[in-house]
Structure 1
Amino acid sequence: MRRKSTALTALGAAVLAAFALGTAPAPAAARTPAGEARQLWHAQDSGSDARFRGLAAVDRRTAWLAGSGGTVLRTTDGGARWRAVSPPGAQELEFRDIEAFDARRAVVLAIGEGEASRILRTDDGGATWTESFRNTDPQAFYDCVTFFDTRHGLAMSDPVDGKYRILSTRDGGRSWRVLPDAGMPDAQPGEAGFAASGQCLVASGPRDVWLATGGGAVSRVLHSADRGLTWTATRTPVPAGDPARGVFGLAFRDRTHGIAVGGDYTAGLPSPRAAAVTADAGRTWTPSAQPPPAYRSGVAWLPRSRSAALAVGPTGTDLTTNGGRTWRTVDQGSYDTVDCTRDGACWAAGEKGRVARLGS
């Protein structure tokens, strides 16, 4: 929207064990008997002080980060070392999302008004980058990008002339075209997406995609089952009604089961009903009976589990073991985004160069 390294605790080990079993047992308490806060995440040294809101976890060895100051980092050894692979001359760009296909191919999105919104692609692990899209409409402000597969993907902009604008690619992000907006519902006054975690636009399967909103009178999730040509909009119970409130992040484990997280990102303000769930592809949303206690910007389903997920934000990480109906805080660290891989790795990233991995 316009606008230290630590050993893995028993809590983290319990979550990892759940991955292997395909279930996630209730976690240990988030604090020791003496009241000392436990840490779920194993911190890694990024060598950067950028704020990372873009994160693409490919597999247990490979992940990419994108953040402020045009910063892009990549690891190919599970995070033991993070290598700077930023596009030359990108220091003025604000990267908020990155999608990676493997250790060599990635697409990164820069946000901002007018020409500040750009998309770049690399095919050689960040040794070189090619700009494949630069926004020329002063009304447009791109927030997120997502891919269905290695060829087909979408990017979304805040409303232009009353409707969200969607870009489409059929060649892995080498070229982009604006889709017609005839099948896009009207935006609410003041409504927009949040470029907070790279999760305001997410896909699951070959054709389904969801778009999260806030800032309007109500928060909504828009769904398309035809790769962005036509959309339906559904109200969610996550509070909105203010430019700082709404749904910030989405995660779908398949085309029907999804989690929405958000709240009010203003520091110190409460965020009631900060999470909701759907079991019908987003046609209806139910508030979490016990939501995270504060604003959360990122969410990810845990590998090999149909019921466990993590939500992250500036004040902590929460775990659900029942598909998002109830949440429990399991870490006090500040993170903006989270992503997990099919082979059992999870990373989180955030301010001041923070990056961490769940597990050793």
Structure 2
Amino acid sequence: MKLKTIICAVLPALLFIGTTVKAQSIKLVQQERRTSMRGLSVVDDNIAWVSGSGGNVAISNDGGKTWAWQQLKGYEKFDFRDIEAFSAKEAVIMSSGTPAVILKTTDGGATWQEKYRKTDSAYFLDAMDFANKKHGFIMGDPINGKFLLLETKDGGETWNEMANAPAALKGEAAFAASGTCLRITGSLMAIVTGGSNSRLLMSPVGKMVWVAKPLPLTNGSQSMGAFSLATGKNQTIVVGGNYAKDARTDSVAYLLPEGTAAYQSNIPVTGPTGFQSSVEYLKDDIFISTGTPGSCITTNSGRSWIKIDDKSYNVCRKAKKGTLVLFAGDRGKIGIYTP
């Protein structure tokens, strides 16, 4: 085929992709509460919950346009860095720091019951995810050479430490940055780490047998590594970097072909424009990510990324049932994604 013919065939497709990506936007809708938010759970296209510093929690019943805030009495100094919501009535929150606590509400936040507490400073909770409404996990930083892994089988009413949690390398830890360094997709649990090493740790949910794969993300200090992962139809994307030097572009997104035993890391041709703390799968080959330098999108399974917003956010999440995508960050910033 002649070069002119190839250009004529390819150029319209490239123009279409560029126009499609440029149409993406994130609308800032909330700055009422000056809290740093890292916990975000989007139930459907109407109901969403956020959690953050200063013991703050909020719920939206209109797709993120307005929020009802509360500061939990007795927890004014707690930093609730992850939340898992199941409805407008039921949600579970966890704090990072000392003491480590887990709370649950079944009445839309009118009351909260403490379900777990550890005053030992070795207990630092990082992220939470559920395989279903009853079966959930919370991971924490390593204790005695193993990552802390808590399990519930009754919807967060009780939590127990698991003996067969994954082993940690010296200086390795996880980041309580967006609640997405732990993910459960189908029957597979995956964890990404940072610090001295960047690794992907995987195990079947039903039987904890761990497989570890190194990641070619920047690592070697406490501010570096893999911060988040999301799995699509045929691939998993891992993002991260160095939050202390968030403008560096050498560290932030890698394509991992699907299959527990066949995971191979690939560096994108064009990565995001700096540190990214959260990534979420949208549909087809489309993923969206966010971090302090802004938010980015890929429409080709992570091979190339385009920046769509300059604002700093900590986390982005898509509705479990629906298409709503929300963002949350520091100083009360909440954003709604418009495709």
- Structure 2 length normalisation: TM-score? 0.89
**Higher strand proportion:** 2
Deviations 1:191-212 (A, max 9, x none): 100001111111111x311111
Cα shift at 1:112: 1.0
Report if the CA contact (8 A) 1:203-1:252 is conserved.
no
- Runs (4+) of structure 1 moved beyond 3 Å? 27-31
Find the counterpart in structure 1 of residue 169 from structure 2.
Answer: 188
Report if the CA contact (8 A) 1:308-1:321 is conserved.
yes
**What letter corresponds to residue 210 of structure 1 in structure 2?**
A
CA distance in 1, matches of 2:241, 2:90: 33
Cα shift at 1:214: 0.3
Is 2:270 aligned against 1:290?
Answer: yes
Is 2:311 aligned against 1:333?
Answer: yes
**What letter corresponds to residue 100 of structure 1 in structure 2?**
A
Is 2:82 aligned against 1:101?
Answer: no
**What letter corresponds to residue 200 of structure 1 in structure 2?**
C
Is 2:112 aligned against 1:129?
Answer: yes
Report if the CA contact (8 A) 2:151-2:159 is conserved.
yes
**Higher helix proportion:** 2
**What letter corresponds to residue 212 of structure 2 in structure 1?**
A
- C-alpha RMSD over aligned residues: 2.0
**What letter corresponds to residue 26 of structure 1 in structure 2?**
I
Find the counterpart in structure 1 of residue 241 from structure 2.
Answer: 263
Cα shift at 1:332: 0.8
Report if the CA contact (8 A) 2:246-2:274 is conserved.
no
Find the counterpart in structure 2 of residue 8 from structure 1.
Answer: none
Cα shift at 1:227: 4.5
Residues 353, 51 of structure 1: alpha-carbon distance in 2 compared, 3 angstrom cutoff: same
Residues 295, 227 of structure 1: alpha-carbon distance in 2 compared, 3 angstrom cutoff: farther
Find the counterpart in structure 1 of residue 215 from structure 2.
Answer: 236
What's the % identity of the aligned pairs? 34
**What letter corresponds to residue 28 of structure 1 in structure 2?**
T
CA distance in 2, matches of 1:86, 1:288: 42
CA distance in 2, matches of 1:309, 1:81: 26
Q: Select which of 241, 252, 264 maps to 1:274.
A: 252
- Structure 1 length normalisation: TM-score? 0.84
Q: Select which of 120, 123, 133 maps to 1:140.
A: 123
Find the counterpart in structure 2 of residue 56 from structure 1.
Answer: 41
Is 2:206 aligned against 1:221?
Answer: no
Cα shift at 1:45: 2.2
Is 2:135 aligned against 1:157?
Answer: no
Residues 193, 281 of structure 1: alpha-carbon distance in 2 compared, 3 angstrom cutoff: farther
